[in-house]
Amino acid sequence: MTIKENFELAKQAYAKWGVDVDEVVEKLKNVPISIHCWQGDDVAGFEVNQNELSGGIDVTGNYPGKATNAEELRSDLEKALSLIPGKHRVNLHAIYAETNGEVVERDQLEPKHFENWVKWAKENGLGLDYNPTLFSHPKADDGLTLSHPKEEIREFWINHCIGSRKIGEYFGRELGTPALTNIWIPDGYKDIPSDRLTPRKRLKESLDKIFAVETDENYNLDAVESKVFGIGSESYVVGSHEFYLNYAMKNNKLCLLDTGHYHPTETVSNKISSMLLFSEKLALHVSRPVRWDSDHVVILDDELKEIALEIVRNDALDRVIIGLDFFDASINRVAAWTIGTRNMIKALLYAMVVPNEYLKQLQEEGNFTERLALMEEFKTYPFGAVWDYYCEKMSVPVRESWLEEVKAYENEVLSKR
């Protein structure tokens, strides 16, 4: 049978439950995923005075062909985007500035250092998001930045974050879609602290100074990102979930939830509904922790499906900003982007063809038998036929055929670096 014929049969199966699959496909086209640039070069960046990776971040593997400059990185991103259905965004870190060989400290970065990225984004119909880089730098060597005891260290990073928000605003103004500028810091202690409050007071004061400089929310959206622990901050992280949740709520900022930044038994999917009750918008960094915040490539596992279901069933596709955050240097990096992003979109499609309203009704009626039975049955409904049709409609490779294009790109481009 053809892809179209399989799709028509799937449509009939879902129509029985009141799901308009044609409508779902059209809706999915308009859901952007923010694809993180740092998968392409193992979070190295392109600073002239490049520093060793730090801040509790570790990238393992040495697969050949990683990007060594911005042009190569953009080329690799273009290849991945050609294999991913839909129109999306690219998420940058400050270390991906282009300074034409000049040493420019992070607190001196300006929009002009990202002009090539904006030009490229315009050519490819992409939005851009941004992150100040508060790691891999001599002024972060002791694991403290915005909460540092030394005022001059704090001021350096405060100025970097203020400049970063201006860069995000520049992205939004130039591209006609607001940039999410997200602040994450590695600050914490390896062993049990004798004072948890003072570093958090300093962090709060630093953030207050950063956000005292206004940016236009039509062009820049501010987010803060928490973490439970990291390498070198196993016992205490200054920017905990509770800290940032309270800070975001009180100061009208977005709280960004990273799926690898919680205790092993916590799930981000379970947090989404609570967050949406009290926040107009919510941001996500979708990753895959394996025993720790190891940022494995996103797979179509139960938690990814549950995250998508929580977004879709709560009618929050326009309220949740979905970004990705993983880095695997043990496999082809273009393939990593393709696998992870296609899986995020698959999860959303899966959630959109489930008859969520009927399942909600069953729960309200106390009909837990039928609810469980149907939730299990829908797991094997012909969702794959809808996905194949969507890929074909969006002119990207169907099923695993994209892998041949990545292999060819590796032979022709990546292997020659």
Which residues are identified as catalytic? 184, 225, 227, 258, 261, 285, 293, 295, 325
d(C-alpha 265, C-alpha 39), whole Å: 26
Closest by CA position to 7, among listed 384, 402, 398: 384
**DSSP reduced 3-state for 357:** helix
Per DSSP, the three-state class of 82 is coil
* CB contact at 8 A, 80 and 312: no
**Residue corresponding to tokens 């203020």:** 162
Alpha-carbon distance 308 to 313, whole Å? 8
Please answer whether residues 161 and 112 qualify as being in contact, where contact means their C-beta atoms are separated by less than 8 angstroms.
no
- Cα gap 171→116, rounded to integer Å: 11
180/174 Cα distance (integer angstroms): 14
Q: How far apart are CA 154 and CA 46, in angstroms?
A: 24
Question: For 16-150, where are the alpha helices, taking DSSP H only?
Answer: 21-28, 70-81, 115-124
Tokens of 305: 């499906």
For the stretch 62-65, contacts whose Cβ atoms lie closer than 8 Å and that sit 24 or more positions apart, written own/partner, are: 62/329, 62/330, 63/329, 63/330, 63/331, 63/332, 63/333, 64/414, 64/415, 64/417, 65/332, 65/333, 65/410, 65/413, 65/414, 65/415, 65/417
Kindly state the helix (H) or strand (E) to which residue 36 belongs, with its residue range: strand 34-36
Cβ 230 vs Cβ 53: under 8 Å: no
